[in-house]
């Protein structure tokens, strides 16, 4: 169960983080630090996006292959049923 004390500490931590970031951002070295941090975060998100799109492409290819295999199986099954029906019809007419 979450207590009020925990929520107060959480809120103070957030406020303290914003105040510290504001003070660091006033210094040119702090601005440089934040610029580097922003660049690294940008690189990370670009890498994650690229990896996501590569995985999405792989999964699309797998799904397309599976659809092709399923369509081929349906075609073969349909042919087999047609052949069986023709054989049954031939057997029925020849036994008459």
Q: What is the pLDDT of residues 14-58, one digit of tens each?
A: 999 999 999 998 999 999 999 999 999 999 999 999 999 999 999
The span from the CA of 4 to the CA of 12, in Å, is 12
The span from the CA of 73 to the CA of 69, in Å, is 6
Spell out the residues 6+ positions from residue 23 whose beta carbon is closer than 8 angstroms to its own.
Answer: 30
pLDDT at 7 over 80: yes
The span from the CA of 19 to the CA of 22, in Å, is 5
The span from the CA of 90 to the CA of 83, in Å, is 10
What are the tokens at 30? 């702090």
In the 8-state DSSP scheme, what is residue 31? H
């Amino acid at each position: 169960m979450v207590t009020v004390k925990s929520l107060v500490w959480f809120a103070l931590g957030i406020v303290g983080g914003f105040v510290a970031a504001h003070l660091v951002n006033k210094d040119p070295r702090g601005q440089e630090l934040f610029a580097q941090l922003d660049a690294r975060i940008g690189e990370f998100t670009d890498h994650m996006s690229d990896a996501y799109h590569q995985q999405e492409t792989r999964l699309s290819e797998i799904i397309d292959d599976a659809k092709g295999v399923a369509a081929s199986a349906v075609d073969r099954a349909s042919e087999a049923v047609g052949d069986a029906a023709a054989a049954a019809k031939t057997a029925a007419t020849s036994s008459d």
